[in-house]
Structure 1
Amino acid sequence: MPHFEAAAGHKVFYVDGKPFTVLAVEIPWWDLIYGRYKETESVYDRLYPAAEKIGLNALKVPIKWSMVEPEKGVYDFSYIDHTKSMAEKHHLKLVLNWFGHYASGDGTIYGNLTGELYAPMYIVNDEKTYPRAVDGDGLVYHNAASYDYEPIINREIAAFRAFMQHIKQVDSQTHTILMIQVENEIAVFGVDRKNPKMWRDHSPATNKRFADNGFTDDLKFSAWDLSYNWIRRITEAGAEVYPIPFFHNYVGGEIADWMVGGAPGEDVQTYLQNCP
């Protein structure tokens, strides 16, 4: 199983008993179209031979939750199988990126309802069961789900467990899939977050959680809540099934100082502590 080992004060990644340096690029996802996922699953096939030709040894492939669970409780892993087959054909490994509750820096469950649908449509269409995030002025955002209501977290945990179970079934012997990135460039709202009113969800459940845990700083709360109540729980559920390496990307600093996850005053150490 792919794993890290400590060596001379450093962490070294091993695959099949040998050190492995991942040389990869990420392929796109927006031309994989909702309602036509099977029809469009080959749209990026040209990138596999291109990666092999330029000397890469892996590709990073986004996997949208809406592709894995097209209907509630019904799972489809055909795109995962397709990417694995293409990678093996071209002597490549894979890093899979779970695009779940939020993805792509927008902090939204969808950017559009074609190529940027991240959460399944049953989540998008049911605001009562899966409440939406609220900004500091009380405005509700249909495309941003609150991260403090258990139903959506539980649904994503179930889907991620099924995702990892399938990976275990098809890849535990071949080790084509090296590791999993859990979520992508998380945030709260799909708008410019230089506005402090966007630094956390203000839905009733989140307001209660904010007060009950003694927070006064919105950014510190969002870092804690997103990492501890959501990312960690999803990752641990997947690791119980198949414990290959998991990681999470953090967008911050001068590149994107408006992100919840990297806004001024927010401590990346929170993520390191809650998602070790």
Structure 2
Amino acid sequence: MKITIPLLWSLFSLIYSCDQITNRTESTLPYLRKQGSATQLIVDGQPFLIRGGELGNSSFTSLEYMQPVWAKLNAMHLNTVLAPVFWELIEPAEGEFDFTLYDRLIKEARKHDLKLVLLWFGSWKNSMSSHAPAWVKKDQARFPRIKDDRGKSHEILTPFSENNLQADLKAFQALMKHIKAIDEEHHTIIMIQPENEIGMLPTARDYHLLANQKFREDVPAELIEYLRKNRKNLVPEFQEVWAKNGYRESGTWEEIFGKGLHTDEIFMAWYFAKYTNAIAAAGKASYPLPMYVNAALIRPGYQPGQYPSAGPLPHLMDIWKAAAPAIDFLAPDIYFKNIEYWCDLYTRQENPLFIPEHRFDNMAATKAAFVFGHYEAIGFSPFAIESTANPENEPLGKVYHLIAQMTPIITARQGQNKIDGVLFDKKNQATLLRFGDYEFTVRHSYTLGYEENAKNDEWETTGALIVQTGTDEFYLAGSGVVITFANVINPALNVGILKAEEGRFENSKWKVIRHLNGDQTHQGRHIRILHGDGFAIQRFELYNYE
């Protein structure tokens, strides 16, 4: 039976209804759940924070290559690995599927007590169609590629081809059916990423004949209806584009959005999203795991066509939401230093934050603490996680160890304004946080002047997360921060430190390692974890006095 787009919409509606019933009955199938303002990933009935790492693109293609990697991942306290599945490896001949390699790799992950997020390298991986099978690549007449504005083909399957869609869709649905067969009782695989860093290159849109025909047509009524219903809530970058042409509600792409590269990109985003949505919906019809799409971000000054255009980028969030309801959220791959900028953009419109790729550098550890705190992230995952030579001393592993201990108290308070995070360097040395009656002034520990590196022109990045567990009780986890306190409800009162402890959680119970006072709290004036002290957890209680 040929699976058409209308049929897929019907299937998705049925799946969505069933998924809501599943959530209400607390099925053990992984799913997403709202708690207050936060979105949680539920695995085996419990909120799950992904302490992740993504493998290099080719690592998860060999049992031999992976053999020494598993111990590294365990040493860094990961609980989840992001690993690609190549279309070319599971369907080397059309209609003939072989999952033997991945079955063995999945068993190894399970043996090492690791969950998996599988990345489907199907039609597109980093824009290109490099992981499509040979039988697809060699038959361009049947499986056409995009064309640039000079009519030159590139190794990117056009999203306007029904043959391309059906071939990818059938393979992905076969994969999801197989996952259900081998993993429904285990839940080793907790989430799926259909495709990888979708984007158009080297022009802003496809000039294939199929694409040109669609570009001349009116904007689909489905998109117009979304814009009409959400006019007041569109992301401002997109609303500005629509407003410039007078909020038109009928006409071609250029008539509604104007002529230019921005319209080319909007047009492509719609059809990339529709294609991906059809694949995700078909996959969910077989086994409805949570699914997201990731994006390669825009380099400063680049124009559409110079970067992988039309992917799930923040300025195109509305297009992707309108065209791809089977996708649960959009996720940024962050390789730039300005992580707050991108996280702020991706947490609009209640989009939960998951960072499937981050540069595996010396800032990854503190950024992990920051995003789990400030954005109440679903997870964090540096790329090429196996590349470390010394996993036991990897800073990321030390932060993951703290987060593993604190997961129960973090997840119990997500979405309730009881969690926050900080990230500091020389340019950004301090911030104010509010917890109930208290205002926290949190600063880089180098501002104290106690540490030798405070004299340097550049400061190491530091960060931490803070959890309020009672009216006056708090936990701090991280490194390189100092906190002072004020009562914002009654400024006449002084705030003192009643108790401060350094410790760890063992079987979810707090164990004190040191009772902190005297010099360690500046005689009761502040709470601190110096950068030179490494990563630690502290519990402290505050009180008020006249």
TM-score range, shorter chain: 0.7 to 0.9
Match of 1:114 in 2: none
Q: Does 1:274 align with 2:329?
A: no
Match of 1:232 in 2: 277
Task: Give per-residue Cα distances to partners, 1:93-142, cap 9 Å, x unaligned.
Answer: 10000001010x2x2212xxxxxxx001000000111112110111122x
Match of 1:248 in 2: 293
Map of 1:80-119 to 2, 5 A cutoff? 80-103=102-125, 105=126, 107-110=127-130, 118-119=131-132
Residue type of the alignment partner of 2:128:
T
Report the Cα offset of residue 56 of structure 1: 0.5
Report the Cα offset of residue 29 of structure 1: 2.7
Report the Cα offset of residue 13 of structure 1: 1.1
Match of 2:78 in 1: 56
Query: Cα gap change, 1:256/1:244 in structure 2, threshold over 3 Å: closer, same or farther?
Result: farther
Report the Cα offset of residue 44 of structure 1: 2.5
TM superposition score normalised by structure 1: 0.86
Report the Cα offset of residue 45 of structure 1: 2.9
Output the CA distance in 2 between the equivalents of 1:245 and 1:145: 25
Query: Cα gap change, 1:149/1:127 in structure 2, threshold over 3 Å: closer, same or farther?
Result: same
Query: Cα gap change, 1:9/1:271 in structure 2, threshold over 3 Å: closer, same or farther?
Result: same
Output the CA distance in 1 between the equivalents of 2:57 and 2:293: 18
Output the CA distance in 1 between the equivalents of 2:73 and 2:266: 40
Report the Cα offset of residue 152 of structure 1: 1.2
Match of 2:176 in 1: 164
Output the CA distance in 1 between the equivalents of 2:321 and 2:97: 31
Asked if the contact 1:251/1:261 (under 8 Å) is kept, the reply is no
Match of 2:214 in 1: 209
Query: Cα gap change, 1:264/1:122 in structure 2, threshold over 3 Å: closer, same or farther?
Result: closer
Q: Does 1:70 align with 2:98?
A: no
Where structure 2 has 5 or more consecutive residues not aligned to the other structure, the ranges are: 1-28, 219-251, 255-262, 326-546
Task: Give per-residue Cα distances to partners, 1:173-192, cap 9 Å, x unaligned.
Answer: 10000000111111123xxx
Identify which of 142, 151, 159 aligns with 1:129.
142
Match of 2:356 in 1: none
Output the CA distance in 1 between the equivalents of 2:37 and 2:184: 29
Asked if the contact 2:253/2:267 (under 8 Å) is kept, the reply is yes
Task: Give per-residue Cα distances to partners, 1:198-223, cap 9 Å, x unaligned.
Answer: 11110101100111132222111011
Q: Does 1:219 align with 2:265?
A: yes
Output the CA distance in 1 between the equivalents of 2:313 and 2:49: 33
Identify which of 9, 15, 22 aligns with 2:50.
22
Output the CA distance in 2 between the equivalents of 1:131 and 1:4: 36
Moved more, 251-260 or 152-161: 251-260
CA RMSD of aligned residues (A): 2.0
Identify which of 178, 185, 196 aligns with 1:173.
185
Where structure 1 has 5 or more consecutive residues not aligned to the other structure, the ranges are: 111-117
Secondary structure class of the residue paired with 1:95:
strand
Moved more, 172-181 or 143-152: 143-152
Query: Cα gap change, 1:269/1:263 in structure 2, threshold over 3 Å: closer, same or farther?
Result: closer
Output the CA distance in 1 between the equivalents of 2:75 and 2:35: 32
Secondary structure class of the residue paired with 2:65:
coil
Output the CA distance in 1 between the equivalents of 2:91 and 2:164: 13
Residue type of the alignment partner of 2:50:
V
Residue type of the alignment partner of 1:70:
P
Identify which of 200, 223, 235 aligns with 1:188.
200
Output the CA distance in 2 between the equivalents of 1:29 and 1:263: 21
Output the CA distance in 2 between the equivalents of 1:93 and 1:153: 29
**Greater than 3 Å deviation, 4+ residue runs:** 253-257, 261-266
Match of 2:38 in 1: 10
Larger Rg, first or second structure (1 or 2): 2
Secondary structure class of the residue paired with 1:23:
strand
| Count of aligned positions | 252
Output the CA distance in 2 between the equivalents of 1:4 and 1:263: 20
Residue type of the alignment partner of 1:81:
D
Output the CA distance in 2 between the equivalents of 1:256 and 1:69: 40
TM superposition score normalised by structure 2: 0.44
Report the Cα offset of residue 253 of structure 1: 3.7
Secondary structure class of the residue paired with 2:73:
helix
Residue type of the alignment partner of 1:99:
F
Asked if the contact 1:253/1:262 (under 8 Å) is kept, the reply is no
Query: Cα gap change, 1:99/1:256 in structure 2, threshold over 3 Å: closer, same or farther?
Result: farther
Secondary structure class of the residue paired with 1:137:
coil
Q: Percent identity?
A: 28
Q: Which has the higher strand share?
A: 2
Query: Cα gap change, 1:157/1:51 in structure 2, threshold over 3 Å: closer, same or farther?
Result: same
Output the CA distance in 2 between the equivalents of 1:273 and 1:79: 37
Match of 1:115 in 2: none
Higher relative contact order (CA 8 A, sep 6+): 1
